[in-house]
Amino acid sequence: MDYTDVNNLKYSIESAMLSSVTESMIKEFQTNTPQNTTSFSVVNSKESGIVSYWFDGYEDVTKEKINASYFDVSDTYCKTNLKTSDKVEKGANVCKVATSEHWNIIVKLTEVQYKKMEDKTYVGIRFSEDGLETNVSFELFTKDGDYFASLGLDDFISRYIDERYIDLELYLDRVDGLKIPKSALIEKNCYMIPVRFLTKNPESNKDVLCFYRDKKDGNDQKIGQLDAICMQDEEYVYIDCDAVTPGTVFVSPNSTDPNNPDNYTVGEMKTFVGVYNVNKGYCQFKNTEIIYDSPEYCIVKKDTKYGLAIYDHIVINPELINENDIIY
């Protein structure tokens, strides 16, 4: 489907075979006297460094020569593999040698990105290819009305020396949290219960709320405990609206009087955004505190009370499932 990929595969296979043959030939040349010395000889490089075997004509491009056209990776871009079994004429390119660990990546910026970087000295970047993250210094500049940044690195050149174009993510608003797809988010209505009604279950040591409910075999009321807590702040505890019926009465800890004026009847609600967690094999709503938002994903706080933690399993498409459904 893509001729360029097929061509690169051909050169990669040929290069691997040639490397094996060349290594064998050099070893033979160093240990024995070859019969035909006119067709083969060893030449040492004038400089040591990191060697790469490709050429694309952009080797002399600098910050002063760059412009927006270099970022248009169209069908006209051509990368030539130099490591082949073909014979070459004297003076032809056979390899490139990087003699320094310092290298630069030039990125094209939007005006908003440019403004955000003006007051920074370093910026965090992430290589999309393998997830490597690092902080780099940079130099901002403009050319023909376009915005650019030259990122300076002193490591990893051997890792990316065979790449001309590489996908990067700039961390201009760096936040630490859990990255989740936007499709996993779902809204949940929760009842608001004053935090003073919160107590501890002595057996499980979990936070619970005490409430009155009817017995199955009559109209007498008994005390029940509820731990379906979605969120808590300084004033309220928020519980899933599906966990209790409207009009449920919550009682203060150690209270046994259903007519106690201090009791609280549920009614006021608040909407939260969260995800379905399936760590226990069934869907449980977990509240999320979003600290960064993008069109495709968001970053939420991790290890929050009643929230998500690293390695939690969540439902990507919550509209296809219901809360408390068992996951097979």
pLDDT in tens, 32-83: 655 555 566 777 888 899 998 888 889 889 889 999 988 887 767 788 888 7
Residue 94 near residue 120 (C-beta atoms within 8 A): no
The span from the CA of 42 to the CA of 275, in Å, is 64
DSSP 182: G
Residue 48 DSSP SS3: coil
The mean pLDDT value for 178-197 works out to: 92
User: Looking at residue 316, what is its pLDDT?
Assistant: 92
Residues in the chain, how many? 328
Phi, psi (deg, nearest 5) at residue 111 = -65, -35
For the chain, the straight-line distance linking the first and the last C-alpha, in angstroms and rounded, comes to 38
Lowest-confidence pick of 17-31, 100-114, 231-245, 284-298 = 17-31
Backbone torsions φ then ψ of 35, nearest 5 degrees: -70, -35
> Is residue 314 very low, low, confident or very high in pLDDT (cuts 50, 70, 90)?
very high
Phi and psi at residue 138, to the nearest 5°: -155, 165
- Judge whether 292 and 175 are in contact, CB under 8 Å: yes
DSSP state of 116: H
| 120 vs 172: CA distance, rounded Å | 9
